[in-house]
Amino acid sequence: MRVYIYGRGLGFKYVKRCLLEQVEIIAYIDNYAQDKVSGDGISIIKKDELLQDFDFIIITLMKYEVVRSDLLKQGIGRQRIISFFDREDAEKDIFYSVLDSHRWKSELMWKYQQEVEIPRADNAYYEANAKELEERYELPTIIDVDKTIDILIGEEKSLTRFGDGEFEMMFGRNRPRFQVLDKKLGNRLCEALQKSLPNLMIAIADNYGDLSKYTDEAADAIRHYMSPEVRKNHMSLLDMHRCYYDAYLSRPYYIYRDKSFGVIKRKFDHIKEIWSGKDVLIVEGEHTRFGVSNDLMDGATSVVRLLVPDKNAFSKYDAIIEATKKYGYKRLIICVIGPTATILVFDLAKMGYRAIDIGQLDTEYEWFLREAKDKCDVSYKTVSEFIDKEVYEDISEPYKSIYEEQIVEIIK
């Protein structure tokens, strides 16, 4: 049997344990790989280099639906596509000529237990008793998204966000997609989280208690991350007598159970009021292109852009903050540069500037406009889930000219 393996990430280790001895791997399909050959000597190709001389394609991605749909659109028969993490595929006899059925089902059962059942049990107490635990100061108080936005509209305050990436950086664990582990950055994040400034709102993700407003997928992902050890780590840094704000202000679409058009549109319209009628400086990665080709920033009086490296922006921090001060005078500063934005907003707030760490809001807006049911790439923009993208499409006119006119400086 000759197979293609689609994806070389975490899922591949599960697949590899189940492959039968007689199976020949023709090549790995990895659209973002820089190498042409893997460490085991097998070729690495992109999906458009796929040849028809094969028996099966095995998708190793845990989120396999989009890939499978693309392969079907390419004319590949469903009976030749094995989605390893699809439980229904694991029941199809036709695929047992490639994968050991017993091992396959055992791997799926083990994975489900480790990633879903155990985390659900670990978090059940906090979800069921969230209100009481908050009243007893055993969980952090987090002001909801609507009230957070109302404050940003009505008051001249800054907002900085701490998500899982920032917390992991503080504990010396490498999690952010855009930034390698940096001890100095971790120390600065600790400083910003524990400092109290009258003009700065500290936002954290609403992950600690009731998760019923999120989709099952999102809630299970939160539970899987929020292990007993991680929860203990977070509690050691948070002040239970302080009010925080909801960092998911930057994620108004994908993670929520209620995706009805009117509800989501109202969320984005509410956020747009923050910069309505204001002069704005956007500090963003070179390919972030926040608000380009959509109406996210249409309400702003004017927009200028400071471009910084897509990855590891903290290595250029001194240049970034000096340029931000230069171009951000009397402007609302919107920051979209990963964990570096958290520190940048903190430092700017201390100096009297107004800045908001807005995160991946533009990506969420693009997904909303597409009514996306799965996370997807967005042409010519950086999407955190597709950070390894090598080639960025050119921006179409008239958006390209408008975008280029807004750029005041590029920091390499």
Confirm whether 124 is domain-assigned: no
Same-domain status, 154 and 88:
no
Neighbours of 325 (CB within 10 A): 14
Tell whether 297 and 370 lie within a shared domain.
yes
Residues 285 and 368 reside in one and the same domain: yes
Number of domains in the chain: 2
State residue 390's pLDDT score.
Answer: 67
pLDDT in 10s for each residue of the chain, 412 residues: 999 999 887 788 889 899 999 999 999 998 766 678 887 889 999 888 888 889 999 999 888 888 898 899 889 999 999 999 999 999 999 999 999 999 999 999 988 899 899 999 999 999 999 999 999 999 999 999 999 999 999 999 999 999 999 999 999 987 656 778 889 999 999 999 999 999 999 999 999 999 999 999 999 999 999 999 999 999 999 999 999 999 999 999 999 999 999 999 999 999 999 999 999 999 999 999 999 999 999 999 999 999 999 989 999 999 999 999 999 999 999 999 999 999 999 999 999 999 999 999 999 999 999 998 888 889 899 888 776 666 788 999 999 999 999 999 999 9
Contacting residues for 37 by C-beta, under 8 A, at least 6 apart? 43, 44
Examine residue 395 and state whether it is found in any structural domain, yes or no.
yes
Please report the pLDDT score of residue 12 as a whole number. 86
Residue 257 placed within a domain: yes
- My answer on whether 90 and 205 are in the same domain is no
In a shared domain, residues 230 and 90:
no
244 belongs to a structural domain: yes
Whether residue 280 is found in the same domain as residue 352: yes
Owning domain of residue 265: 142-410
Q: Tell me, yes or no, whether 188 lies in a domain.
A: yes
Residue 134 near residue 128, CB atoms below 8 Å: no
Q: Is the pTM of this model over 0.85?
A: no
Residue 389 placed within a domain: yes
Residue 128, in any domain of the structure? no
CATH assignment at residue 58: 3.40.50.720
pLDDT at 46: 86
Same domain flag for 269 and 378: yes
3-state secondary structure of 220: helix
- For residues 210 and 312, membership in a common domain is answered with yes
pLDDT of residue 32: 66
Residue after which a domain boundary falls, among 78, 106, 134: 106
Are 282 and 334 spatial neighbours (Cβ–Cβ below 8 Å)? yes
Task: For residue 92, count other CB atoms closer than 10 A to its CB.
Answer: 12
Contacts 24+ apart (CB under 8 A), 373-376: 374/63, 374/65, 374/66, 375/63, 375/254, 376/66
Regarding whether 148 and 280 lie in a shared domain, the answer is yes
User: Do 156 and 63 have their domain in common?
Assistant: no
Question: Is there a single domain that holds both residue 93 and residue 6?
Answer: yes
* Sheet-wide strand order for 355-357: 141-143, 243-246, 200-204, 158-162, 355-357, 332-336, 279-285, 302-308, 407-410
> Does residue 307 sit in the same domain as residue 226?
yes
Q: For 3-51, where are the alpha helices, taking DSSP H only?
A: 10-18
- Establish if 114 belongs to a structural domain: no
